[in-house]
Structure 1
Amino acid sequence: MPSLGDLLREWDRGAQAVARGDWDCALRLFSGYPEPSARMCFNVGCVHLLAGNPEAALRAFDQAVTKDTCMAVGFFQRGVASFQLERFQEALCDFRLALAQLRDNTAIDYTQLGLRFKLHAWEVLFNLGAAQCRLGLWAEATRSLEEALSKGSEGARDHLCTALDQVQKQVHLQPRQGPRGEVFRPHRWHLELLEPVDFLGKAKVVSSAFPADRQEDIQPQQPQGCSHRGLENPHRLWSQEAPRDRDTGRPRAGGAG
């Protein structure tokens, strides 16, 4: 059985595989968990959607929302998979469930959970309207788009106005889905904990803070085996000094003798 560290590394490698578009590698890595979490099941579903397999994606999203019944983004993506399979009534139910899990909030930011995606209420309402269009519920679709327009940001206004105009002309809409290539990733600090830590570090030569020591560092002491002439025996320096006067201690004139 793989260790927790191994599973975290495989999760990270799987997310990297999604980023580079290697669906087979991502699915192999994400499927290695003996007890997959809701987030891992969600990842598998997203990869299947990217790979063009909405049936397999639907099964994975089923697992995700079964494990986490409050996962609004899971219901949202399952609705997208049902829509692609032309199961519009099921898609309608999932978009309503996603809207209910928003709990009157304008958005849910999943960034702290490892998914770089913010699910907005207007996006869910947009998809709700798209499913209603396919079911011939044009009046309901119009109301959904009008509500989306009231909740949408300034940047989404033009897009929603165009969509509302299409619905009023009874033109079908294509649903929105999560950003391409984005899946739940492990927290970076979890991965950093797996890296080996060198508590001792590398040895360094540190200069002394004492001036005398620094002077010695610059001008090292002469080794004892000095070869300078006259310094072979330092005692000779004392023995060659001039004789000193016994009373004053000063050298006597005339030197030794």
Structure 2
Amino acid sequence: MCYFPVAKLRGHNLRGNQESHTVNSYLSAAVRENLFLSVGDHLTRLLWCWECGAMSDTELLRFWDEAVKAVDARDWQGVLAKLDDINKPTARTLFATAAAHLALGQLQPAIQALDQTIAKDERLAVGFFQRAGVLLLANRPEEALADCIWAKKQMRENAVIDYRQLGLCYKLYSWQVLYNAAAVHVRMGHWDKARDILLAAAEEKGGARGGTVEAALNSISRREVLAPLLVPEGDVFRPRKEEVEQLKHPIP
């Protein structure tokens, strides 16, 4: 059963926009998809090459590493300052930019950074998931619902995507995407629709829900608004430890 209406996402057709893709974008998409199917470090390194243009881009790596250290210190202005020094940001560094803006309560800059994140990598399900949550916080439910649709689409029928291979210590579950879709329908006053989607979320495989869905069902029975799920504060894509070590001890 489909719980999402036919919709368009910020200029994207839900049937896909592969016609406008270049050869490079097809190759990039293939690499990313394989990353979820393989544990080989060489694939992760290949993705890094694709995003940055060259493994020798030590300046980008240094600024990214310094930004991550600022994330750990919860120095959000410092995070933005370091990331602003990157003249060729990648999807993963832009995701960190969005996280910093969100931590500062700056919703519109966070949305803009996530726009750029998704523009860099249109198959990044967690990017759509995060933007859906932020859009809902910004009271833009129609756009948030479209992002829920795209997040589910980019999960490619997987119950979970583990982003540790890409440097993000986070697992995105299909039930979380459905939960946010239900939260959107609640904001739109579609209580029955929200309940149906939550019941579907409860049946999804994988993930410790910890009573989250059950609590949400109780909330909508009392006609209470649901807060969206988001990637936890401080969880950002991080550069590989081996590459950071090379900054300290460069190969002659």
* Same fold at TM > 0.5: yes
> Would you say the 8 A contact 2:179–2:197 is kept in 1?
yes
In the TM superposition, residue 7 of structure 1 has moved relative to its aligned partner by 2.0
Q: Which residue identity does 1:183 align to in structure 2?
A: V
2:94 to 10, 31, 41: 41
How many angstroms does 1:173 deviate by? 0.5
The one-letter code of the counterpart of 1:81 is V
1:85 aligns with 2:149: no
State the Cα deviation string for residues 194-214 of structure 1 (Å, max 9, x = none). 233799xxxxxxxxxxxxxxx
Cα distance in 2 for residues equivalent to 1:76 and 1:125: 10
Let me know the Cα RMSD of the aligned residues. 1.8
- Cα contact 1:149–1:157 (8 A) shared by 2: no
State the TM-score, normalizing by the size of structure 1: 0.73
TM-score (norm 2): 0.74
**Structure 2 counterpart of 1:127:** 180
Residue of structure 1 in register with 2:60 after alignment:
7
Alignment of 1:73 with 2:123, yes or no, is no
Tell me, yes or no, if the aligned pair for 1:75 and 1:94 is still in contact at 8 Å: yes
| Higher gyration radius (CA) | 1
- SS of 2:172 mapped into structure 1: strand
Deviation string 1:166-196 (CA, Å, 9 cap, x unpaired) is 2233221101100111111100011122233
Residues 21-36 of structure 1: pairs in structure 2 closer than 5 A: 21-36=74-89
Q: What is the aligned length? A: 197
1:50 and 2:123 aligned: no
Which 5+ residue runs of structure 1 have no aligned equivalent?
200-257
Contact 1:108 1:118 in 2 (8 A): yes
- Residues 1:148 and 2:187 aligned together: no
Runs of 4+ that moved beyond 4 A = none
Task: Give aligned-pair identity as a percent.
Answer: 37
Q: Tell me how far 1:153 sits from its aligned partner.
A: 4.3
Higher relative contact order (CA closer than 8 Å, sequence separation 6+): 2
- Which residues in structure 2 correspond to 1:185-224 (within 5 Å)? 185-196=238-249
Task: Rate the CA distance shift 1:125–1:197 in 2: closer, same or farther, 3 A.
Answer: closer
